Amino acid sequence: MTSDFHTRHDWRTLAIALTIWTGHFIVAWLASIIFPDQPIARWIAAALTVLCLAALYLLWSRKARPPLRSVAGLGIALSAVGVAYGTLPAVIG
């Protein structure tokens, strides 16, 4: 039953994806608090976004690419959208 969404791999992938999203949010928020209205906060957020999206891509491409209808695929997609959306306030100002 490879299509069963109750496998341990799916839930581990979901937890890692949501942890990446949470870490991105915390570090981007701290950068904007520590360096308010400074370009360094934008650079930190932009660099962190690239790293987190790359980590999510590696998580998705690891072994077999999970479809979006699986728990793992949905978690990775949600985390990628959250990372991209979380960068907007830092980049826009």
Q: Which residues contact 76 (CB under 8 A, 6 or more apart)?
A: 13, 17, 56, 59, 60, 66
Spans of all domains in the chain: 11-92
Q: What is the pLDDT along the chain (93 residues), one digit of tens a residue?
A: 455 555 666 788 889 999 999 999 999 889 888 988 889 989 999 999 999 999 999 998 886 666 666 788 888 999 999 999 988 877 776
pLDDT score recorded for residue 36: 84
pLDDT score recorded for residue 8: 64
**Tokens of residue 83, six digits:** 């990372």
43-66: b (≥16 Cβ within 10 Å) or e: ebbeebbeebbebbeebbeeeeeb
pLDDT score recorded for residue 78: 93
Task: At 63, give phi and psi (nearest 5°).
Answer: 55, -115
pLDDT score recorded for residue 71: 81
